[in-house]
Amino acid sequence: MKLLVDAALGALADAQVDLKEVDGVVLSSSIPQPFECNPAELAEYLGISPTYTTMAPYGGRPAIDVIHMAESAIDAGLASNVLVLSADNFATTLGIDGAIDLYMKSFDKTYERPFGPIIPTAFALMATRHMHDYGTTLEQMAHLAVTIRQHGLLNPHTEVKGELTVESVLNDVVTSSPLTRSMLALISTGGGQGFLITKRPRNDRAVQILGYGEASAFMSLSQAANVAKFDHIGGATRQALARADVTLADIDFLEVYDPAAIVPLILLEDMGFCEKGEAGAFVENGGIKLGGPLPMNTHGGTMAFRHPGMGAALDSVVEAVTQLRGEAGERQVADAELGLVHGQGSWLANNGFLILGRA
């Protein structure tokens, strides 16, 4: 609750809007809480009476959904100033063993869970299949981890320390073959994010919501048509681009949900930035670096910034806003005008895409 309240008050101060003017609250649910903190409970704590409240569950996709819900509520006349909030206390509440136990329950109880998978298992399957079908190498995935770590070390709020090399990534402890620990997301102690969505910004630091797209194709990994190619991702991307009336070539930077090094490679291909099987070489040749043609996860993502739980992908939205405001310091993308943000849940089964632009 304290994380949510701190995020709410920070967002309101940034937007120069008084708490009494808030008439909508949208929450991304928490993973470890024994009882989910719902919007009514938060409203009670803040002493407000919103006319619109809702929640978004399921994995990393709420980072996109919650903002779209708030925007839709405003467009429908249900609210005028909507707080969008997320907070989680992952490692402190659950610990590593608790996190592993909880995430095993994410797998289908009949056809998957009896075989003892952990979250990295799903991404290891994707990596193995992608390597087999398209010739992607472990070295290329290591290059992605190294690049994201370089970006994270430029973020003054990062949890990580020390640079990575391709060799150190490859020689790290194998968590789920072929993925090593350095190719996977962090498990963090806690964090909260907050936004105010409104049609009437009070200052010139507002960022514009231009496009939104989403797609769901399955839930259980065993029901995926292909674990290395996800056609519905391209459809959701095109939906977001069409609504924003822009093309992939117009995008200045990408902030994607990166629970494992293979995921951004698949996204680059299935979103349409690279042909299938070419993302590994694109990353290896510096394509996603700051100063490169398509900077990605400029804040470090979940691999080199933090991963406090359910709302982790909202950090990507925070970073996109920071970039579009020109306030990212050493990690600033030059002349950033359009950013594409991605959130996913259930191993790329459910995806949301948000296009943000400089107001």
pLDDT of residue 308: 82
Residues present in the chain in total: 359
Please state, in angstroms and rounded to a whole number, the distance separating the CA atoms of residues 138 and 163. Answer: 18
Helix, coil or strand: residue 311: coil
- Say how far apart CA 11 and CA 42 lie, in whole Å: 15
Residue whose entry in the numeric block shows the structure tokens 């190498």? 137
d(CA 42, CA 66): 16
DSSP string, 231-299: HHHHHHHHHHHHHHT--GGG--EEE---SBTHHHHHHHHHHTSS-TT-HHHHHHTTTTSTTSSS-B-TT
Structure tokens at 237: 């991307």
Q: Is 358 helix (H, G, I), strand (E, B) or coil?
A: strand
φ, ψ for residue 113 (rounded to 5)? -60, -35
Give the Å distances, CA to CA, from 332 to 110, 243, 279.
47, 26, 23
Task: Give the pLDDT score at 35.
Answer: 52
**Contact partners, residue 273, CB within 8 Å, separation at least 6:** 248, 254, 279, 282, 294
Tell me, what's the pLDDT at 347? 86
Helix 62-75 crosses helix 314-325 at what angle (to 10 degrees)? 70
Question: Which residue positions in the chain have pLDDT lower than 50?
Answer: none
Whole-number pLDDT of residue 271? 98
In the 8-state DSSP scheme, what is residue 30? P
Q: What is the pLDDT of residue 101?
A: 76
Supply the pLDDT for residue 116. Answer: 85
* Interatomic CA distance for residues 245 and 233, integer angstroms: 18
User: Tell me, what's the pLDDT at 219?
Assistant: 86
pLDDT of residue 61: 63
